Amino acid sequence: MHHEKEVKTTYQVDEKFYGVYTGRKNGHLKLNSDGTGAYLYDYQAFLPENCEKGEIPFDWGFILDEKGEIVKFERSYGYSYPIIYSCTGLNSFQGCTQTSLIDYLLVYKDGTITVSSSDDWHKAD
């Protein structure tokens, strides 16, 4: 579910997508092969009382089209893949106001994979 709409997804994807994406700071994205994961913002501003600092646990999946194929968009650099994170704990996105988030994994022609929601997160080898 994303914003009250049912969306078909899958976490059974090429293993190159599984793992940890990091950058210069402490934030990260973890995508586990069982469809679970976690997101840690590089910087968390003032949060409401019901929202704790730290990792945001979620279930994730790449979006599937009506034929059951993984959605991807061809770009000049390679491809972008929309992915949905659906929170499974008390913490959620944007100061605990959003329980799901659409993000994009960007796959470059040289094989590098980055995360669109962070300016420098890339897949660790």
In this prediction, residue 105 carries a pLDDT of 97
d(CA 105, CA 115): 5
**Tokens standing for residue 36:** 């679970």
Q: Which amino acid is at 31?
A: L
Q: pLDDT digit of tens for each residue in the chain (125 aa)?
A: 445 667 899 999 999 999 999 988 889 999 999 999 999 987 766 677 778 888 999 999 999 999 999 999 999 999 999 999 999 988 898 888 899 999 999 999 999 999 998 878 999 86
In this prediction, residue 6 carries a pLDDT of 79
DSSP sequence for 16-76: GG-EEEE-SSS-EEEE-TTSEEEEE-S------TT--SS-EEEEEEEEB-TTSPBP-EE-S
Q: CA distances (Å), 102 to each of 1, 7, 27, 98, in order?
A: 11, 11, 18, 11
Strands 56-63, 73-74: parallel, antiparallel or unpaired by DSSP?
unpaired
What is the distance, to the nearest Å, from the Cα of residue 119 to the centroid of all Cα atoms in its chain? 14
Residue pointed to by tokens 């796959």: 107
